[in-house]
Amino acid sequence: MEQNDIFAMVRGNLSTVIPELDADEITMDATLTDLGCNSIDRAEVVTMTMSDMGIHVPVMEFQEAGDIRSLVRLLARHTA
């Protein structure tokens, strides 16, 4: 799956979890925490995206994913 497609999914799920978020603020360089996600919101965005993609990534791996770019790369690696 292309990284752009995964980014679109993350973006869509972020908007679902935090509806008041301005879509323009969601860039590859932002972190979920910067965008106002608390720990539960982060877990939701990631589980929703994994479910959309039909993959399961061990939770421990996400600790290394700081910004959205590394999150998208991590998810992309698991679709390869």
Partner 1 sequence: MSLTGIGIEAINVFCGLAQLPVPALFDGRGLDRQRLDHLMMESRSIALPCEDPVTNAVNAALPIVRGLGDAERDSIEILITSSESGVDYSKSISSYVHDLLGLSRHCRVFEAKQACYAATAAVQLAAAYVSSGVSPGARALVIATDVAMVDARAGYAEPATGHGAAAMLISDQPRVMAFDLGAFGTYSYETLDSARPGPDFDIADVDASLFAYLDCLSQTFADYRTKVDDVDFATTFDYLALHTPFAGLVKAGHRKLMREQARASVEEVDADFAARVMPSLRYPSLVGNLCSGAVYLALCSLIDNAPYTDGARVGMFSYGSGCASEFFSGLIDQGSRDELARMRIAEHLAARLPLTFAEYAEMLEENKQCLVPVPDREVEIARYKRFFEASAERGPLLALRGVEAFHRKYEWV
Tokens of 75: 């998810």
Q: Is 2 left (phi over 0), alpha (psi -120 to 50) or beta?
A: beta
- Residue 80 and residue 44 in contact, taking contact as beta carbons nearer than 8 Å: no
* CB closer to partner 1, 2 vs 61: 61
Give the separation between CA 15 and CA 80, rounded to whole angstroms.
Answer: 26
Our finding on whether 44 is near partner 1 (CB under 8 A) is: yes
* CB closer to partner 1, 1 vs 12: 12
Our finding on whether 10 is near partner 1 (CB under 8 A) is: no
Least spacing, CB of residue 22 vs partner 1, in Å? 16
Residues in contact with partner 1 by CB under 8 A are 16, 19, 38-44, 46-48, 51, 58-60, 62-63
